[in-house]
Structure 1
Amino acid sequence: MSQHTNQSPYPQGGPHPADSYQDGQYGRPPQAPQPHHGRPARNGLGTAALILGVIGALSGVIPLLFWLAGILGLIALILGLSGRGRAKRGEATNKGVALTGAILGLVALILSVVGAVITFTAVDSALKEVDKALSGQEATTPGAKPDAKGDGKGDSKGDGAGKAGAKALAGGATAEYADKLKVTVGAPTAYTPSEYAIGHTKGNKAYKVKVTIENTGGEKFDSALSQVDARSGAEGTAAEQIYDGETTGADFTGSILPGKKATAVYAFDAPAAAKNLTVEVTPGFLDFKSSHWELKL
């Protein structure tokens, strides 16, 4: 009687085909590792603080960008402190980055304050210079004021110089500016305008006024920038300028060389009852303040 023995077709000690199949030897893909179930780090605040802090600090180096440095610095400081708090609670891993961003934010704030002070100081200084340039020089009156007749006897007390802009001068008086420019307005003289005169009203009186500008400085002066106006009567009504031919009513033209002078004859129309004529002369609308002469009619 034959004995049947069940022997495995696979060698002893060798791997079973099923095991090899399960291990992926025969093409079955291995299973992917299971995802980590831990909470991810929240590093956004620290990173944002660092970026804003760097930009803010660089902006603070330029004084005109103080406003930008202040805004970015404040935001960076807040985000940096918030990010550092997250790192302490274990919610973030960039504690150093957050701290650096907060420090840079503080630096940006300091630079913004410094830049604001520098900017405002510079602007204030510039405005003062512009105001000084626009206000121009104020004239002084050396010696005594001549009277209305222009004979130099004057009616002022003392022999010292005074500010021409503080009080109206008399006819024949001279206003002197710091640039060695002298302006003299003579006493008015009545005259009869021609039939071709422009600016004269029938029934009014016309007066001629001689204005002389003398340049005693070292540079030429552009007299074309000079302006002469007048008011008449107690009410200070504007006196119309009369243009009568080539010699009466013509404004200053050209330049006055050092050591030279120029004279222009102006004519003004005033009411018949007017007792005085106030003449205002401005040698230059940017560099000089106006001076006034009170002329008796």
Structure 2
Amino acid sequence: MSHSSQQPQYGAPAPAPASPARNGLGTAALVLGIIGTVSGFIPLFFWLAGILGLIALVLGLSGRGRAKRGEATNKGVTTAGAVLGLVALVLSAVGAFLTFKAVDEAVTKLDKELSSTAPKETAGGGAKGGAAGASATPVPEVLGADETVVYDDELQITVSAAAVYSPTEAADGHTEGNTAYRVTVVVENAGKEKYDADTAFLEARAGKDGVTAGQVHDEGLDGISGTVAPGKKATGTYAFDVPAGAKSLTVEVTPGMDYEAHQWELTL
């Protein structure tokens, strides 16, 4: 009786184990796409939606490449992650547009409110001036006799026409051969705060060459001084020594350090 036996085969290679599916990219894309899309619906989180959406889109496309090569088995998940990433990017762009538009409208509205509550610029303007009002009358470079300049705090300055003045023997600042001219300056405080007239400063120039016309000090020439209360006026008289032959006198008044100086052109 014969027995047939098979000898074991030696040296044949064992079958290689299957590689595990590389589904990490698709899963990450889906998670980030979901979070990015949700962030896109939350105000002021458009920036987060944009970042997560971009990452999800890149990971989703990379995951689809793996699935096509047979390295991953979650093609549907990667596709969903890429789509959600794209949606998050779109929502991010819309959110950024709406946010910037809302900020711009808020700033515009705030500017209008501030403009409406700011003090209007009156005729004088100057350092104490506010925003220009639509109906404000611009002040000319040089004013004429008896014209009034009005500052934003409602301080009003008026300079009269020049009149010949005869200095007394006790006068100081008058030169023989020159002619003295007197002007009247009126300060009206129509504002709500007192005005310190001691800070006011006057100077004058004569003729077309602008020769300095020194101030004449004499009895009866009382300049403005002290404090002018709200609703009150103060009147001062000043005299200037003008060279013979001059046809005009320019008087410049500076009410104080916080005010702009203005000039009055007076015909002699």
User: Cα–Cα, structure 1 residues 97 and 243, in superposed 2: closer, same or farther, change >3 Å?
Assistant: farther
Inter-CA distance 37–115: structure 2 relative to 1 (3 Å threshold): same
State yes or no: 1:136 paired with 2:107.
no
User: How big is the shift at 1:84?
Assistant: 5.5
| Cα offset, 1:171, TM superposition | 2.9
- 2 CA distance for matches of 1:55 and 1:241? 76
Q: 1:108 aligns to what?
A: 95
Structure 1 pair 164–263 and aligned structure 2 pair: CA distance change class (3 A): farther
In the alignment, what sits opposite 2:195?
222
What is the correspondence of 1:21-170 to structure 2 with a 5 Å cutoff?
37-42=20-25, 43=28, 47=32, 50=35, 54=39, 58-59=43-44, 78-79=54-55, 81-82=57-58, 85-86=61-62, 90=75, 92=78, 94-95=81-82, 98=85, 101-118=88-105, 121-122=108-109, 125=112, 133=119, 136-138=121-123, 165-166=139-140, 168-170=142-144
Identify which range, 267-276 or 187-196, moves more after superposition: 187-196
Amino acid at match of 2:22: R
Deviations 1:143-179 (CA, angstroms, capped at 9, x unpaired): xxxxxxxxxxxxxxxxxxxx68348554344556898
Q: Hey, what's the Cα distance between the residues in 1 that align with 2:35 and 2:219?
A: 77
The 2-side partners of 1:45 and 1:204 are apart by 98
Does the Cα contact within 8 Å between 1:53 and 1:72 map onto a contact in 2? no
Query: CA separation of 1:128/1:203 partners in 2, compared to 1, >3 Å: closer, same or farther?
Result: farther
Post-superposition CA distance 1:77-119 (Å, at most 9, x none): 6556545545665484745763563254124312333145226
CA distance in 1, matches of 2:54, 2:216: 74
Alpha-carbon RMSD: 5.6
Distance across 1 between alignment mates of 2:226 and 2:213: 20
Taking a change above 3 Å as real, the CA distance of residues 240 and 109 of structure 1, as seen in their structure-2 partners, is farther
Q: Is the 8 A contact 1:87 1:95 kept in 2?
A: no
Secondary structure of the corresponding residue to residue 24 of structure 2: coil
% of aligned pairs identical?
27
What is the rounded CA distance, in whole Å, between the counterparts of 1:218 and 1:73 in structure 2?
Answer: 56
The offset of 1:185, in angstroms, is: 1.2
> How far, CA to CA, are the matches of 1:122 and 1:254 in structure 2?
41
Quote the residue 1:263 is aligned against: 235
- Counterpart in 1 of 2:7? none
Q: Tell me the equivalent position of 1:21.
A: none
- What TM-score, normalized by structure 2, do the two folds share? 0.51
Aligned counterparts of 2:211 and 2:222: Cα–Cα separation in 1: 16
Structure 2 gap ranges (5+): 1-16, 66-74, 125-136
Once residues 218 and 254 of structure 1 are traced to their aligned partners in structure 2, the CA distance between those partners, rounded to angstroms, is 13
Is there any run of 5+ residues in structure 1 with no aligned partner, and where? 1-33, 61-68, 140-162
TM-score, structure 1 normalization: 0.47
Residue identity matched to 1:293: W
* 1:275 alignment partner AA: K
Task: Count how many residue pairs are aligned between Structure 1 and Structure 2.
Answer: 225
Aligned counterparts of 1:53 and 1:270: Cα–Cα separation in 2: 84
Q: SS in structure 1 opposite 2:95? A: helix
**Aligned match of 1:274:** 246
* Rg larger for: 1
